[in-house]
C-alpha cells in the first residue's frame, strides 16, 4: 500500500533502541498525537547507522529521513552517537550534491523519557517535509551508478 495520496509523504526514521525508540514508545504511552507519515526502523545504536541507509532511503523514494539517538554522552554503547554525529554531519553537505534539499534529512537526540519532545520532533520534521513537498525521484539505470559512486565516496 502506498502512502495516503495527498495526505502523507514518505518519511523514514532510524531510531536507536535504547533512547529514541523508547522515547517514541513513551510518546505512545502518553497518547501524544503525531502525524502518521513517519515509519520507524529500529537500530541498536545511532552509531550503527550507515549514511548509505539515508541515501538509499531517499533514492528509493523517501521524502524525508529522520535519525534520532541518545543525547551526547548518554549513549548506551558509550560513544556510538559521537560516531553517528560525525558521519551524519557530512550528510547535510552531501545531499545537495545529489540534488536533495538538506532539510530532507535531520538528526536529533531524544531520550527514553522524552515522550513530549519526540512528539515535537516528529511534528516539526513532518511539517518541514510537507513544506518541501515530494522529493525528486531518481529512477532508471543512473540510480545504481549514483549509489555506487556514493558508496565509494563515503
Partner 1 sequence: MKIGVFVCHCGSNIEATVDTAAVAAAAREFPGVVFATDTMYTCSEPGQDEIVDAIKEHNLGGVVVASCTPRMHEQTFRRTVERAGLNKYLFEMANIREHVSWIGKDREANTNKSVDLVRMATEKLLRNRALHPKKFTINKRVLIIGGGVAGIQAALDCADGGLEVVMVEKTSTIGGKMAKLDKTFPTVDCSSCILGPRMVDVAQHPNITLYAYSEIEEIKGYVGNFEIKVKKKATYVDWKNCTGCGICMEKCPSKKATDTFNEEIGKTTAINIPFPQAIPKKAKIDPAFCTMLKKGKCGICAKVCPSGCIDYEMKDEFITEKVGAIVTATGFDLFDWTVYGEYGGGRYPDVITSLQYERMLSASGPTGGHIKRPSDGKEPKNVVFIQCVGSRDKSVGRPYCTGFCCMYTAKQAILTKDHLPQSQSYVFYMDIRATGKLYDEFTRRAMEEYDTNYIRGRVSMIYPKGDKLLVRGADTLMGTQVEVDADLVVLAVGAESSAGASELAEKLRISYDSYGFYMEGHPKLKPVETNTAGVYLAGACQGPKDIPSSVGQGSAAAAKVLGLFSKDQLESDPQVSIVDIKRCIGCGKCIQTCPFGAIKEIDFRGMVKADVIETICQGCGICTSTCPQGAVQLQHATDNQILSEVNALCQF
Using CB under 8 A, list all residues that contact partner 1.
1-4, 7-8, 10, 12, 18-19, 21-22, 24-25, 27-29, 31-36, 39-45, 47-50, 52-53, 56-57, 60-62, 73-80, 83, 87, 111-114, 119
DSSP H or E run through 16: strand 11-16
Whole-number minimum distance, CB 99 to partner 1, in Å? 17
Whole-number minimum distance, CB 8 to partner 1, in Å? 7
Whole-number minimum distance, CB 118 to partner 1, in Å? 10
Whole-number minimum distance, CB 34 to partner 1, in Å? 5
Q: Which is nearer to partner 1, 96 or 113 (CB)?
A: 113
In the three-class reduction of DSSP (H, G, I as helix; E, B as strand; rest coil), residue 67 is classed as strand
Report the DSSP pairing between strands 105-109 and 64-69. parallel
DSSP summary character for residue 37: -
DSSP H or E run through 34: none
d(CA 117, CA 104): 20
Cell of 37: 507519515
Amino acid at each position: 500500500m502506498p502512502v495516503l495520496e495527498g495526505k502523507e509523504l514518505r518519511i523514514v526514521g532510524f531510531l536507536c533502541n535504547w533512547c529514541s525508540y523508547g522515547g517514541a514508545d513513551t510518546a505512545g504511552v502518553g497518547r501524544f498525537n503525531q502525524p502518521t507519515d513517519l515509519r520507524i526502523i529500529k537500530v541498536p545504536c545511532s552509531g550503527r547507522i550507515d549514511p548509505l541507509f539515508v541515501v538509499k532511503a531517499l533514492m528509493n523514494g523517501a521524502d524525508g529521513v529522520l535519525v534520532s539517538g541518545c543525547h551526547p554522552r548518554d549513549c548506551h554503547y558509550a560513544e556510538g552517537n559521537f560516531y553517528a554525529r560525525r558521519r551524519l554531519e557530512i550528510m547535510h553537505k552531501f545531499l545537495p550534491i545529489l540534488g536533495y534539499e538538506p532539510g530532507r534529512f535531520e538528526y536529533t537526540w531524544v531520550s527514553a523519557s522524552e515522550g513530549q519532545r519526540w512528539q515535537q520532533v516528529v511534528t516539526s520534521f513532518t511539517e518541514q517535509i510537507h513544506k518541501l513537498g515530494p522529493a525528486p525521484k531518481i529512477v532508471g539505470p543512473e540510480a545504481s551508478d549514483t549509489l555506487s559512486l556514493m558508496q565509494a565516496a563515503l
